[in-house]
């Protein structure tokens, strides 16, 4: 089935307004399939990977089904980690922004339980929490479920991996029998199926299955870049590659508008294209783009449907798409009618895992690429200007200006013909230096090794010890309070490995991993120092693998 536009779903005006303000227009596959069935009151099993929009898949119908006139918990969502509980809570709050009277509360370990008890006295209708802390409140009788309509198990497989099976059983047995039970999981192990048989009633199984799509012959690259440097990187690529017709994809309408304004401010010929624009305005923009009057089109996935322009030189994934199929549709806008095409994807941190999913799905190689430096761009522009001058020399017809050159030489005692040519070149091609490129993280290679908010840890085992990313993720997730989903890049070399963890978890990981062993050998893990980071950069030929 085609993904639905949110306006096609039977949602309240308040929720539609919130989604529009958040910049969302098209539902993801899991949202398109799940929301209608949840609104009908059915139990569902939703099978989809992280990052595919599962929160809104259950959050939107949960908000619609809550009665703001009834106090007390009507929806309970269980999450494996406090980070996910907070994230889910924030997203649902954004969706319920214009729904008056709905209170949402995240509760999790590590936060004062007394403060949570006080917050529960305000009788929130939606509670999002971790299993352990939910059980604490149930034992204290500070959390009651007599008005419960819906229970959500979010990332159920992750909760089982973290040892919460018994807690889940205890919680679900205490809930009212008449309820709607929603389960979301990336995988369907035996234990998940047991839970569905025990606690769900005729659940509808939703699985987001990709269509078989062939990817066109396009050169594909990715560049690691922080959010704060994305605009600078985009400008440099446009100029370094001398792009005259390109499409930039963003995930939301708001993002499209903001980026369009930023590019226009920098002097680029750019226009926006998204679902909030009237059809006449969209047609006007597309006509200008086809004629080459607009060089850069910034669009959402929905608005870009039907774009059929043969000479698009490049596609930029300013945001990594939530679904692999979107990626294929995006980059298919270039490389048409026998023309050569290229795509550039901007990634940072855990985006590398999304990129690997895309590579597996498309069965293609997406190569790493260094950001263009300011000097690279200046050289490109000088080459282009040089070619223009050479073409003029071939055409001839410039001898009528000889008298002007002679007059300049007479007026200046010291100037040579070379000086005059250089001065005229500067006047004619002054935009070589007019972009005002900014020195940024793009000019510091170290950003590839020290990501924002992450700490790089060193381990004295590598590929020769047959260690794999799953060994590291399982070790950290089982011994520390850090969820495997929050672990950053894993960089495996022949004799050592680097792994990135969020800064606030670094000390916990270091202390809990002191007795970590791999194949009977005690593994030493410590914060990476400058010497080790340098070793990482200079030994990339020694079997380095990045995950």
- Quote the pLDDT of residue 77: 97
- Quote the pLDDT of residue 255: 93
Note whether residue 231 is domain-resident: yes
- Quote the pLDDT of residue 270: 95
Domain residues for the domain of 24 are 6-207
Note whether residue 444 is domain-resident: no
Q: Which of 320, 353, 372 represents a domain boundary (last residue)? A: 372
289 & 359 share domain: yes
359 & 384 share domain: no
Quick one: tokens of 509?
């990981």
Q: Which of 335, 357, 372 represents a domain boundary (last residue)? A: 372
- Quote the pLDDT of residue 172: 95
86 & 196 share domain: yes
Identify the weakest region by mean pLDDT among 64-73, 197-206, 506-515: 506-515
486 & 542 share domain: yes
Residues 377-401 pLDDT 10s: 778 778 878 888 888 888 888 888 8
199 & 70 share domain: yes
257 & 335 share domain: yes
Q: Provide the CATH number for the domain around residue 302.
A: 3.40.50.300
Q: Please say if the pLDDT value at position 319 is more than 60.
A: yes
Q: Characterize the bridge pairing of strands 126-129 and 75-78.
A: parallel
Note whether residue 92 is domain-resident: yes
Name residue 105's beta-bridge partners: 127
246 & 351 share domain: yes
436: left (phi over 0), alpha (psi -120 to 50) or beta: left
131 & 18 share domain: yes
- Report the domain count for the chain: 4
23 & 53 share domain: yes
312 & 367 share domain: yes
Percent of the chain at pLDDT > 70 equals: 89
- Cα(379)–Cα(178) distance, integer angstroms: 70
30 & 150 share domain: yes
410 & 533 share domain: no
- Quote the pLDDT of residue 17: 93
Q: What is the mean pLDDT of the chain?
A: 85
State the sign of the Cα–Cα–Cα–Cα dihedral 294, 296, 299, 301: positive
Q: Which of 372, 392, 421 represents a domain boundary (last residue)? A: 372
Q: Is the pTM of this model over 0.85?
A: no
Q: Provide the CATH number for the domain around residue 487.
A: 3.30.70.330
Give buried/exposed letters for 322-347 (b at 16+ CB in 10 A, else e). Answer: bbbbbbbbbbbbbbeeeeebbbbbbb
Residue indicated by tokens 């709905």: 102
- Cα(364)–Cα(344) distance, integer angstroms: 14
Q: 318 or 309: whose pLDDT is higher?
A: 318
């Amino acid at each position: 089935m085609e993904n639905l536009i949110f306006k096609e779903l039977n949602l309240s005006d308040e929720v539609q307004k919130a989604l529009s303000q958040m910049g969302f227009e098209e539902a993801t596959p899991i949202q398109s399939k799940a929301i209608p069935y949840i609104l009908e009151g059915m139990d569902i099993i939703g099978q989809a990977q992280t990052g595919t929009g599962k929160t809104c898949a259950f959050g939107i119908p949960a908000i619609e089904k809550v009665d703001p006139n009834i106090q007390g918990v009507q929806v309970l969502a269980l999450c494996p980690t406090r980070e996910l509980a907070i994230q889910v809570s924030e997203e649902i709050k954004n969706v319920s922004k214009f729904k008056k009277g709905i209170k949402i509360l995240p509760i999790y370990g590590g936060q004062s339980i007394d403060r949570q008890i006080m917050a529960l006295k305000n009788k929130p209708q939606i509670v999002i929490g971790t299993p352990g802390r939910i059980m604490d409140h149930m034992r204290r009788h500070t959390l009651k479920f007599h008005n419960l309509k819906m229970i959500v198990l979010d990332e159920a497989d992750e909760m089982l991996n973290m040892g919460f099976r018994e807690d889940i059983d205890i919680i679900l047995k205490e809930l009212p029998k008449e309820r709607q039970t929603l389960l979301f999981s990336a995988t369907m192990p035996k234990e998940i199926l047991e839970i569905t048989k025990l606690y769900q009633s005729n659940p509808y199984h939703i699985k987001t299955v990709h269509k078989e799509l062939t990817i066109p012959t396009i050169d594909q690259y990715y560049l690691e870049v922080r959010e704060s440097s994305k605009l600078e990187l985009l400008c440099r690529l446009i100029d370094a590659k001398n792009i005259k017709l390109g499409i930039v994809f963003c995930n939301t309408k708001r993002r499209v508008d903001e980026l369009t304004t930023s590019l226009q401010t920098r002097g680029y010929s750019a226009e926006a294209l998204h679902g909030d624009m009237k059809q006449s305005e969209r047609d006007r923009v597309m006509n200008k783009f086809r004629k080459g009057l607009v060089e850069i089109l910034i669009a959402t996935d929905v608005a870009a449907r039907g774009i059929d322009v043969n000479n698009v030189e490049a596609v930029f994934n300013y945001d990594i798409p939530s679904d692999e199929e979107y990626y294929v549709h995006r980059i298919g806008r270039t490389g048409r009618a026998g023309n050569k095409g290229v795509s550039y994807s901007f990634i940072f941190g855990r985006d590398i895992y999304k990129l690997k999913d895309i590579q597996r799905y498309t069965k293609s190689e997406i190569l790493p690429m260094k950001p263009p430096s300011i000097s690279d761009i200046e050289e490109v522009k000088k080459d282009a200007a040089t070619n223009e001058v050479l073409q003029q020399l071939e055409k001839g017809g410039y001898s009528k200006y000889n008298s002007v050159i002679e007059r300049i030489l007479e007026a200046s005692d010291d100037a040579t013909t070379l000086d005059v040519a250089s001065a005229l070149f500067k006047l004619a091609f002054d935009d070589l230096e007019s972009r005002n490129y900014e020195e940024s993280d793009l000019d510091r290679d170290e950003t590839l090794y020290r990501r924002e908010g992450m700490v790089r840890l060193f381990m004295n085992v590598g590929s020769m010890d047959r260690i794999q990313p799953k060994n590291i993720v399982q070790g950290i997730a089982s011994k520390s309070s850090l969820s495997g989903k929050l672990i950053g890049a894993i960089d495996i070399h022949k004799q050592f490995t680097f792994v990135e963890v969020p800064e606030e978890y670094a000390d916990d990981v270091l202390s809990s991993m002191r007795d970590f062993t791999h194949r009977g050998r005690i593994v030493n893990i410590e914060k990476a120092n400058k010497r080790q980071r340098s070793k990482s950069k200079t030994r990339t030929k020694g079997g380095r693998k990045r995950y």
